[in-house]
Amino acid sequence: MRTGPLSARISFGAFIVALIVATLHVMRPSIVTLTVGLIAAGSGIVLYNIALSGIAIGLLILGFARPAPATA
């Protein structure tokens, strides 16, 4: 059974999805982007793409590091 190249492509694809969603979450945080980003980054970690998915998780955390919106 040949699983090397296909699992590597799926793992890298999970990282790409996680990175795109995490970037969207930094620009405009919402619960939907957080959930999709965590699922994609988690699947990237499960598929042994730990370092790259860690970058996406770091971006998801940075999405919450912003000042609270000003109230009038």
pTM beyond 0.85: no
pLDDT, residue 1, reads 46
pLDDT in tens, 4-46: 566 566 667 777 888 888 888 888 888 888 888 888 888 878 8
Q: What is the DSSP string of 30-70?
A: -HHHHHHHHHHHHHHHHTT-HHHHHHHHHHHHHTT-SPPPP
- Higher-confidence residue of 72 and 21: namely 21
Residue 28 DSSP label: S
Can you tell me the distance from the alpha carbon of 32 to that of 13, in angstroms, rounded to the nearest whole number? 19
pLDDT, residue 8, reads 61
Contact 25/59 with Cβ under 8 angstroms?
A: yes
pLDDT, residue 45, reads 80
